[in-house]
Amino acid sequence: MKDRSTLIIDGKALAAKIRGEVASECAALSGEGRRRPKLCVIIAGDNQASKVYVRNKRKACEDCGIDSVTVELGADVTREELFSVIDKMNSDCEVDGILVQLPLPGGIDEKEIILRISPDKDVDCFHPVNVGRVYTGDPVFLPCTPAGIIELLKFAGVEISGAKCVVVGRSNIVGKPVAALLLSENGTVTVAHSRTKDLKSVTSEADILIAAIGKAKFFTAEYVKPGAAVIDVGMDRDEEGKLCGDVDFDGVFGICGAITPVPGGVGPMTVAMLMKNTLKAYKLHEG
């Protein structure tokens, strides 16, 4: 029964605020005559979605006062050629962050590529060293999308400490790390997935529901506890080809207490947190 007002959590507004803070710090550095932070993005192949993401990151760098370089490689790139580019960027003292845009062309082991990036330049927080530090509560960088989710919850005034948090999805990029960050904020965390029995009964008890499975409008009203905060990480297309999330936004609106829209929710935060990580890497390198 829809008898509640639902807060739409504006990811664009929060991302703009964070990017503005990064831009202010970068401007201050330039005013002191210091070099600007620098991000290197490596893209291989012809994945159109990846090209869009890379353009968005380049534009964010421009807006924040961060120098950026994009290395574009063909779909026939070899593992050794990728290693060579990464090694060059690892040894360049003016490059603070290195990001390899995924997915990579077939035949290349993504794990090997991630391992090649120096942990102190791993602004995506994919390297096992940085992942381990997140899980042990001593992070250098925070994974961009999960960190953005935590910021969105705080921005909306959602109390994480003591809350029942259900994360649906167990990917290394979102599901697992966001569970770790919720735990570090004293949430009581359950990770559900494709093998979870009676998923509706699990999610309908959640004070905070994180949906990250990549299935358009999968989470309908019966999955959501009245008053819950719902974070939709999905980026899907509905039957009409329109962009949507994993949550049936119209169906749960008025039931949940707060919800992120798609687009305009989690997506902008991912890029904003990348800018924040790049600035942090710069500070580490400059002492």
Q: What CATH number is associated with residue 185?
A: 3.40.50.720
Same domain, 112 and 185: no
Per DSSP, the three-state class of 68 is strand
At 287 the pLDDT is 83
At 31 the pLDDT is 86
- Say which amino acid occupies 95: V
Establish if 169 belongs to a structural domain: yes
At 106 the pLDDT is 87
Establish if 65 belongs to a structural domain: yes
Same domain, 147 and 260: yes
At 1 the pLDDT is 55
Same domain, 111 and 150: no
Establish if 66 belongs to a structural domain: yes
Q: Are strands 208-211 and 236-237 parallel, antiparallel or unpaired?
A: unpaired
Same domain, 160 and 194: yes
Cβ-Cβ contacts under 8 Å for 237 (sequence gap 6 or more): 216, 243, 244
Give residue-wise pLDDT tens across range 117-137.
999 999 999 999 999 999 999
Q: Are 144 and 277 in contact (CB under 8 A)?
A: yes
Establish if 82 belongs to a structural domain: yes
Q: Are 257 and 225 in contact (CB under 8 A)?
A: no
Establish if 162 belongs to a structural domain: yes
Same domain, 147 and 87: no
At 2 the pLDDT is 62
For residue 220 the two structure tokens come to 């309908």
Same domain, 149 and 256: yes
Q: Are strands 67-73 and 38-44 parallel, antiparallel or unpaired?
A: parallel
- Say which amino acid occupies 273: M
Give residue-wise pLDDT tens across range 225-246.
999 999 999 999 999 999 999 9
- Which H or E element spans position 27? helix 11-31
Per DSSP, the three-state class of 20 is helix
Tokens 């609106």, residue? Answer: 253
Active site residues: 57, 101, 124
Cα four-point dihedral sign 54, 174, 144, 270: positive
Establish if 188 belongs to a structural domain: yes
Same domain, 52 and 159: no
At 39 the pLDDT is 98
165 φ, ψ (degrees, to nearest 5):
-110, 125
Residue span of the structural domain in which 45 resides: 34-118
Same domain, 111 and 155: no
Domain CATH code at residue 105: 3.40.50.10860
Split into its structural domains, the chain has a count of: 2
Establish if 220 belongs to a structural domain: yes
Establish if 97 belongs to a structural domain: yes
At 3 the pLDDT is 62
Ranges of residues in the chain with a pLDDT under 50 are: none
